[in-house]
Amino acid sequence: MTYPPSFGHVPYAQAPRPRRRGIKRTVFGALGLLANAIGLVVMPIIAAMIGAVLTMSSNTALTPLDPAGDSFQASSFSLYTIAVPQEDLGTTTCEIDGTDIDVTPGSTEITSGDVDGVAYYDLYDVQAFGDQEVTVTCEGGEAVALWDAGMGGVLISLGIGVALPVLLGLVALVMTIWGIIALVRSA
């Protein structure tokens, strides 16, 4: 029981307001959503650079192929490059056969590596859709090599660049909704 103060007329002290719950969750959730919006733009770029470095550094060995006709076992989780020495870039054409493959001209300014001290440059990029044997027959050049770029770096960059921001965005969204519900209930 409370008694009025003994000096003058002062109203009774009011009970403290109920504590508002959920403010921190709402603020941190909203900040997380804002940071995630930025991260969805920035992270794939950074992750692509990391993936490129991992792919380039993981395998720099070229496998020589017989230009008259050779084959290799392709996996659906790899990207392959058919490369030739720089002096053969303008004269070499290749026929690449496989069950389900995508062949695109490579960037002739990019070196894939070297064989016996000779730099080889990209001529064709080959993507196989399923495990299969791919046959390569080339004309106009004396040396052809195969580079298996692998896909480990690409898969890592997809995980870092896309999946991580989406997962963190979902956590921030749940936190924001949870905070708003707590705010409404405490009012």
**In this predicted model, what pLDDT tens digit does every residue of 73-90 receive, in sequence order?**
988 777 888 999 988 888
Q: How confident is the model at residue 5 (pLDDT cuts 50, 70, 90)?
A: low
| Residues contacting 41, CB < 8 A, separation 6+ | none
Query: What is residue 60's predicted lDDT score, i.e. its pLDDT?
Result: 65
**In this predicted model, what pLDDT tens digit does every residue of 158-180 receive, in sequence order?**
777 888 888 999 999 999 999 99
Query: Structural domain boundaries of the chain?
Result: 23-52+155-186, 60-149
Q: How confident is the model at residue 63 (pLDDT cuts 50, 70, 90)?
A: confident
Query: What is residue 128's predicted lDDT score, i.e. its pLDDT?
Result: 87
pTM above 0.85, yes or no: no
